[in-house]
Structure 1
Amino acid sequence: MSQHPDPRHAERDDEEVTPVVAESVDDDAVESNRRLYTGWQWLLFAAIAIAYSSFHLISLNLYPMETWSFRIVHICGALILGYGLYAGTRFADEGHARSPAWLGWLSYALLIPAGYALYQVFMMQSAMNDGAMRIAPEIEAFHYGYPLMLATAAAIVLSWSFRQYRHRLSPADLVLMVCAVASAGYLLVMFNSPLRASTGTPFAPMGISYAAIAGAALILELTRRVAGLALVIIASIFLIYVFAGPYLPGFLGYPGLSVGRFFSQVYTDAGVLGPTTAVSSTYIILFIIFAAFLQASKVGDYFVNFAFAAAGRARGGPAKVSIFASGLMGMINGTSAGNVVSTGSLTIPLMKKVGYPGRSAGAIEAAASTGGQIMPPIMGAGAFIMAEVTGIPYTEIAVAALIPAILYFLSIYCMVDFEAARKGMRGMRKDEIPLFSKLVKQVYLFAPIIILIAALFMGYSVIRAGTLATASAAVVSWISPYKMGPRAILKALQLAGTMAIQIIAVCACAGLIVGVIALTGVGARFSSLLLGLAGVSQLLALFFAMCISILLGMGMPTTAAYAVAASVVAPGLIEIGIQPLVAHFFVFYFAVVSAITPPVALASYAAAGISGDNAMGTSVASFKIGLAAFIVPFMFFYSPAMLMEGSWLQILRVGVTATLGIVLLSATVQSWFFGPVKQWQRLVMLVGALCMIYGGIVTDVAGLAIGAALLLMQRGRHGGGTPSTATSS
């Protein structure tokens, strides 16, 4: 991006200014522990990624596989790609000493037990095909289970200290790739035989448990590499609870499960192969491929440039651009922090140029990027998990999400606008932004998203609609400057395979937690606790559910955060009489906003890294800007019409009054309405905002009266709304 003078001093018409043009929004961000191969290794992993993406497209649309087998291959492919592309520690060519040679030889030695376990899988398959009813326990233990678990555990430990060069695959990770195939191969053999029915019983082959233990360890380690320690720690606590639970007091205690019984069942549709993997192997992978095709055709750049052209000239322009661009991009990419990195690298520096402090710029980007996760129709893949868990049709969930999403983004917009007015900020000049007249000629680039929405509401399945939208992205590119030929399509498939690793690992790891909750019954005991609190106060029960949802979501990507919270909290809310749709939306919202909730706020931390401000300060500021997201879920409970539940008159009344309430709430936070707001007026304004947000007829009338009185008072005193001089913050 070309440099241009500081907009605050660039007031002369004759000053030469280069327009801001987004050119790198669609570039694939490279993580610090990601390998960058060259030569034949690059070709090999590119081919694996392309084959992985193509496998899903073919299986979902043309030749479907048996469900469990499909999900096992889905996870195994992600493990192979993940261990091939992501290192377990920092690279030697980044200032760290290279590991001694003996670590490499020790790692290569582990290929012997890993390869032997894989060989035994083929032998067992042959025996089962020849009519064997089951495999002898000593063969499963000594010839398969023990070698596999030894190789897996040792290779994971070695990978933590094995420093190699960024363009090479470490031998420890090669061992882990073989172990992933050996674990998945055994499960495929057993789950496609009559022994599948024995899972969770004393008659289940111990080999299933051995494969599941190795598989669980591989999932946890890959999750650590691609998503950090937060989810791994939470999953480990749940796994420890399985065996520590019988010794715990109170409602946490339960009779207990043996190692064999638990692990023979946790790698089935009761856990790892359950709802989270069901969604990641169908809807999420499909929309990742869709997003990759949009990136390959540079639609992301167009979205951001369109946002600049549409909103850049408004006061505080780059901040409003951030809202629109991050909402569009975040809806598709499914991670708040990832969206901050892609759009924030452009919008945050520009916000600082027009006068926003670094903290405010980062906070606005973090709050807007987080909002993309609640924006229909895609909702960062959260809507698909909700549909899978609740059984409510996807289209109904997307429609229900509309008013809350509008309220959230309206709140951020008002926060930004009032702060810009209070500080006397200007927008960007006409010559600083792309020409709208040129961009509007390429409005056809929105066609893939329009086709997706239209196909969904015409009754097509999500898979068929997603496939159509993906194909349309390639077709539309042919009338754009970035035509997608065979090479670009292969690149998009390769990018999709790489992008999918994190979310698949996270969903599989969340599946472990879901399995623990289902098999130990801790979710039911939590429900009884909420039921007891509701007997005292429903509001207290909701507040407790909010805290648990945020706590479970801290440091986790949206999909995993919601999947875990939906298993623990949502059943309890339904138990106390809340409608399933309302309960799940309540949990979903708080799982999403955990990304901007101190002290562990991933989206805010990512934004602070770009803005150069303090991470904790940025997270507090983003919490303030996203305040509406902490109030809107309570509106679901008191006014189900917010989720399109009720008559059109009720929905219209609640929507209008809640909108006015959100505007008043934003004015309260920013201490500005049509001019500066005194402290007593802020207090009255807060009361009026809460009255309208509550949604009752009496409270709506009271809130409207307060709002009208304040409006007349402000208009009479200030007459306009844009201050003549900047007011200090």
Structure 2
Amino acid sequence: MPHFSGPRSSIRQETSASYVSNLKGRFSIPYLRYERTELVRSLKGWLRIFVLIYAISASLFHLYTSGWGTFEPRTQRGLHLLLLLPLVYLLYPATSKSPKDRPSVFDVLASILCFVGPAYVVYHADRLNFRLVGISEVLPEEIFLGTVLVLLVIEACRRSLSRWMALTIASAVFYLATAPYWPGLMKFKGYSYPRMIEVLFLAGDEGIFGFLTGISSNILYIYIVFASFMLYAGVGDFLINFAVWAAGWAKGGAAKIAVIASALYGTVSGSTVANVYATGSFTIPLMKRSGYEPKQAAAIEAIAGTGGQIMPPIMGAGAFIMSEITGIPYFKIIQAAALPALLYYLGLFFVVHFIALRQGMRSIPSSDRPRFTSILRNAYYFLPFLLVLLFLGYGYSPSKSAFFVVLIIFGLSFLDRRTRMGPKKTMDTLYHAAVNAALIATALAGSGMIVGILTRTGAALAFGSLLSSLSYGNLVLAMILVFVVVSILGTGIPTTPSYIIAVTVGASLLGKFGVALLAAHLFVFYYAVLSDLTPPDAITAFAAANIAGSEMMTTGLEAFRLGIAGFLVPFAFVFQPALLLEGTFLQILKGAGLASLGVICLAGFLIGHVGKPLNWLVRILLLCAAIFLVFPTIGMEFLGIGLAAGIWGWAKWRR
């Protein structure tokens, strides 16, 4: 995980040093899960100054376009990649054996070519906007520059994201070149080499400069700047302090702190791994000291950290991309996503609560918790979150809303000398925003090529037809197939590209069964996020295990087991649209109440303790109650309520 000397602690710590000693300096702001900071170069001398100025210029450019309007799409996207792609080659070495303090000659040459390709697109934007795809001639220099840029984007993905992401893009390009020779539904008439480069390099809505790069440029960058300013202003420390104050008093308070802290931190961070490292560095040692086994502590933090990416309003890049693909307003998407995210964390909260009851854990002493006055004094840190929602609610665009809030955060920082955004801190903030935005831009440029190939060749429709035939007309089976596909894609590919690729097939398949567009997209997105918890590539569990000192695969399996409730939430909101705030107030209230009771029952089934140990017969009855409540049909919800009430009454009577 990248860790660029992040912002130092800015909130006055009034908790015991033994509990908060790990808070300071732990907050970094990566946005994708495979950022490999251990390989990020530490440049020196004039090159360090050049990269710093270059990166800050990129952030200032995107701040300007967010506030005063973007250029026409092709120019904006070209300038976006022109500013960010070279940073990948200057900061990420080719291998672990490459120099860590300077780029190689090849890296410098590659960074120049990363500049030249987009610069050509920007310079010739007017002409390119009027060319006809498939008809207009592809010039020799365009073939050369397009070929080079395709290779550079693939290599940039390998360096900064993962080799599997690069392999996926390369496989898609290989398929485009060999499609005429494939059998059955996968066969396609094919393109000549110039037309292949046209699709990948010159097409306006797909390929490297397609709509995904437009999302990165127009929306995602300013939200990365927003998150960067929030964290450098000290919000990370405040959120953990708030979690300690809010949950430290409860039984098993250490684990409940992890749940609340990760949920809150996830509203700013768009990365599961960043969430685990930022909060887990504090909460995992705290849980171990409180009596949780290392694998338990790591698993709980992994589940909590993963859920951060489904927490509105940031949700990684998913909500913005979903809005662009579906045409559904961003504000409506984050509204719909709120209740499922809360159900996810409610299930985890009761998992750790029942573990605490089973193991007889205690709360954190009051002397080791922040005072209410300390929390109240810094409550203005919640203001930026509220303002973003307020601006969105009043109809401002997502980028304009974030721009205004960045200015407000900058002004608020001067209320306290410890959080003041002076010149050095402001430059650090803008620099780190650019570094993280470069990773997003690389991922979406690569994903744009994959999506372009899948749609142009009809491979997405062919694969969708295959899944449809395998489902035999059964919605549940179709949903399971989509889950499997997304989980496979999530093995080695970051969440955002995994969602983008899978949704080209999965959303249309679910749509054939009458699943609403938003529900279908959220279903795919949730499992793209939860693939971080799915063995064998449970990347968040492995990150947490690294902190806890537990065995990685054992931790991954434990995280998957304890997180089962979260895996059922997407099925629940497909069958209960009220969980996505569709329907009347009473329907939403009923759906939320039944689902909440259902995930609590499921947590009791998983742990086998609800204040009293449960035998397997009672646990199975509790599982049945959970199913009846989460997937209610006429009359069955009453049976679920009756079972739940009976078991809880029995447990209370037996205490």
TM-score relative to the length of structure 2: 0.93
Contact 1:20/1:433 (CA < 8 Å) preserved in 2?
Answer: no
Contact 1:327/1:369 (CA < 8 Å) preserved in 2?
Answer: yes
Matched letter for residue 497 of structure 1: A
Matched, 1:586 2:523: yes
Contact 2:226/2:406 (CA < 8 Å) preserved in 1?
Answer: yes
- Coordinate RMSD, CA, aligned: 1.9
Matched, 1:559 2:493: no
Contact 2:302/2:541 (CA < 8 Å) preserved in 1?
Answer: yes
Q: CA deviation at 1:580?
A: 0.7
Name the CA shift for 1:427/1:555 in 2 (closer, same or farther; >3 Å): farther
1:396-454 Cα deviation digits (max 9, x unpaired):
11111111011000011111111111111222212223323212211012111111111
Aligned residues: 631
1:684-707 Cα deviation digits (max 9, x unpaired):
110110010102232211111111
Q: 1:77 aligns with which of 83, 92, 106?
A: 83
> Which residue of 1 is the match for residue 209 of structure 2?
273
Mapping of 1:364-379 within 5 angstroms?
364-379=300-315
Mapping of 1:29-68 within 5 angstroms?
31-68=37-74
Contact 1:276/1:511 (CA < 8 Å) preserved in 2?
Answer: yes
Q: Distance in 1 between matches of 2:476 and 2:207?
A: 32
Contact 2:76/2:214 (CA < 8 Å) preserved in 1?
Answer: no
> Which residue of 2 is the match for residue 89 of structure 1?
95
1:513-556 Cα deviation digits (max 9, x unpaired):
11111111111112323333454322111111111112112223
1:579-613 Cα deviation digits (max 9, x unpaired):
11111111111111011001112211211211121
Contact 1:561/1:591 (CA < 8 Å) preserved in 2?
Answer: yes
Contact 2:262/2:308 (CA < 8 Å) preserved in 1?
Answer: yes
Matched letter for residue 589 of structure 2: L
Q: 2:114 aligns with which of 176, 180, 184?
A: 180
Q: CA deviation at 1:28?
A: 6.2
Q: CA deviation at 1:206?
A: 4.0
Contact 1:33/1:88 (CA < 8 Å) preserved in 2?
Answer: no
Contact 1:418/1:672 (CA < 8 Å) preserved in 2?
Answer: yes
Q: Distance in 2 between matches of 1:525 and 1:191?
A: 34
> Which residue of 2 is the match for residue 169 of structure 1?
103
Contact 1:327/1:372 (CA < 8 Å) preserved in 2?
Answer: yes
Matched letter for residue 46 of structure 2: W
Contact 1:284/1:381 (CA < 8 Å) preserved in 2?
Answer: yes
Mapping of 1:307-326 within 5 angstroms?
307-326=243-262
Q: CA deviation at 1:289?
A: 0.3
Contact 1:371/1:409 (CA < 8 Å) preserved in 2?
Answer: yes
Contact 1:555/1:601 (CA < 8 Å) preserved in 2?
Answer: no
Q: Distance in 2 between matches of 1:380 and 1:686?
A: 32
Structure 1 window deviating more from structure 2 (225-234 vs 427-436): it is 427-436
Name the CA shift for 1:423/1:222 in 2 (closer, same or farther; >3 Å): same
Q: SS at 1:198's partner residue?
A: coil
> Which residue of 2 is the match for residue 464 of structure 1?
400
Name the CA shift for 1:654/1:28 in 2 (closer, same or farther; >3 Å): closer
1:617-645 Cα deviation digits (max 9, x unpaired):
11111112221222111112211111111
Q: 2:609 aligns with which of 652, 672, 687?
A: 672
The structure with more radius of gyration: 1
Q: Which runs of 4+ in 1 moved over 4 A?
A: 16-19, 27-30
> Which residue of 2 is the match for residue 224 of structure 1?
158
Contact 2:522/2:570 (CA < 8 Å) preserved in 1?
Answer: yes
> Which residue of 1 is the match for residue 144 of structure 2?
210
1:302-340 Cα deviation digits (max 9, x unpaired):
111221122123222221111111112223221111221
Matched, 1:541 2:478: yes
Q: Distance in 2 between matches of 1:288 and 1:680?
A: 50
Contact 2:19/2:282 (CA < 8 Å) preserved in 1?
Answer: no
> Which residue of 1 is the match for residue 334 of structure 2?
398
Matched letter for residue 85 of structure 2: L
Contact 1:530/1:573 (CA < 8 Å) preserved in 2?
Answer: no
Q: SS at 1:428's partner residue?
A: coil
Name the CA shift for 1:275/1:673 in 2 (closer, same or farther; >3 Å): farther
Matched, 1:192 2:126: yes
Contact 2:495/2:529 (CA < 8 Å) preserved in 1?
Answer: yes
Matched letter for residue 365 of structure 1: E
Q: CA deviation at 1:76?
A: 2.4
Q: SS at 1:379's partner residue?
A: coil
Q: CA deviation at 1:284?
A: 1.2
Q: SS at 2:528's partner residue?
A: helix
Contact 2:82/2:119 (CA < 8 Å) preserved in 1?
Answer: no
> Which residue of 1 is the match for residue 364 of structure 2?
428
Contact 1:18/1:431 (CA < 8 Å) preserved in 2?
Answer: no
Q: SS at 2:268's partner residue?
A: helix
Q: 2:458 aligns with which of 521, 543, 558?
A: 521
Name the CA shift for 1:194/1:556 in 2 (closer, same or farther; >3 Å): closer
Matched letter for residue 205 of structure 1: L
Q: Distance in 2 between matches of 1:605 and 1:508?
A: 28
Name the CA shift for 1:716/1:65 in 2 (closer, same or farther; >3 Å): same
> Which residue of 1 is the match for residue 220 of structure 2?
284
Matched letter for residue 459 of structure 2: V
Q: Distance in 2 between matches of 1:530 and 1:671?
A: 37
> Which residue of 2 is the match for residue 443 of structure 1?
379
Which protein, 1 or 2, shows the higher relative CO under an 8 Å CA cutoff with sep ≥ 6? 2
Q: Distance in 2 between matches of 1:63 and 1:392?
A: 21
